[in-house]
Amino acid sequence: MPETKPLQLICPAGSLPALKAAVDHGADGVYLGFKDNTNARNFSGLNFDDKSLAEGIRYAQTKGRQVLLALNTYPQPATLARWHRAVDKAAHLGVDAVILADPGLMAYAVKTHPQLRLHLSVQGSATSYEAIEFYRERFGIRRAVLPRVLSLAQVRNVVENTDVEIELFGFGGLCVMVEGRCLLSSYACGDSPNTFGACSPGHAVRWQQTPQGMETRLNGVLIDRYADNEKAGYPTLCKGRFQVRGETYYALEEPTSLNTLEMLPEMLRLGIAAIKIEGRQRSPAYVAQVTRVWRAAIDAVKRSADGFTPNPAWMAELNKVSEGSMHTLGAYYRPWK
């Protein structure tokens, strides 16, 4: 893998058509997973088997793009061999890097495939440069994906104190928790995202039309109720509407998408290695639309960071595919700090 230039665009690939859409519309790299719980988007209909992954790697790499394989869940003793086989397959098929969270799996990768490039997953919950340096010193981590809970000043502190490349989420759905530490889904349905590989797993999700409206439930827990003219979203506990002291509202987090286009000049100045687009569970059309906008924006900021402002048409395009048709700078911008 060649030396990384600042602000690579890393896009989601939940399927082979999504991978091709990302590559064709300007992604520098894609991230993806196998069809099992070795990755944190373990949903039916998503992800890659050996054949489709081999084809995806060929398609991307012949066009000079990278393929990053997420093995970012935590193996349990009884099923550890599955994760080891996944690392072996990643090395054999020739991915550009594997994205790991579990230290034991990192140790296996270093010992068995020392040439394999390792990235620290957001599921590793590393929010400080000390944590990142721990993984660099012991396992040779080359890049770290930061959780979406840090202000830009905190990101700067990380960048200035480690030589590990830093990857930031730039667009897509938000998580109210520090990734890798959320227990809400486990509480509701007994399956931990860190081991089962999915927040709000499909087997526990139900939609039901009732006289009061469309209800969404997770393992029987009522998450939301929608009027006839409302879009019924996928039920996750953090983005449900709940009755609190007689008032019904989004008690934990209102559905909205992260959109950091306006922060690109600062990210470039910081030397951020890569911008990650969330959405492996989204359609190829979503991937194409978002990749096209972000490719144009990154190219523009590299041409002239000082004169950069987001094109209103870009923002309008991204708002069309944002949760709740709204966007936010998330934790990156904290005016009270």
Structural domains in the chain plus CATH codes:
8-174+256-332 (3.20.20.70), 184-250 (no CATH)
Considering Cα of 82, then 85, then 91, then 94, what sign does the dihedral take? negative
The structure tokens listed for 177 are 């928790």
User: What's the pLDDT score for residue 279?
Assistant: 92
The structure tokens listed for 4 are 């990384």
Mean of the per-residue pLDDT values of the chain: 92
pLDDT tens per residue across span 82-112 = 999 999 999 999 999 999 999 999 999 999 9
Q: Is the pTM of this model over 0.85?
A: yes
Which pLDDT tens digits describe the chain residue by residue (337 residues)?
Answer: 445 678 999 999 999 999 999 999 999 999 999 999 999 988 888 999 999 999 999 999 999 999 999 999 999 999 999 999 999 999 999 999 999 999 999 999 999 999 999 999 999 999 999 999 999 999 999 999 999 889 999 999 999 999 999 999 999 987 776 777 777 888 888 888 888 888 888 888 999 999 999 999 999 999 999 998 888 778 888 888 998 999 998 888 887 889 999 999 999 999 999 999 999 999 999 999 999 999 999 999 999 999 999 999 999 999 999 876 678 888 887 664 4
Which of 91, 19, 46, 5 lies closest to 277 in space, CA to CA? 19
The structure tokens listed for 260 are 């950091």
Residues 228, 211: Cα–Cα separation, whole Å: 10
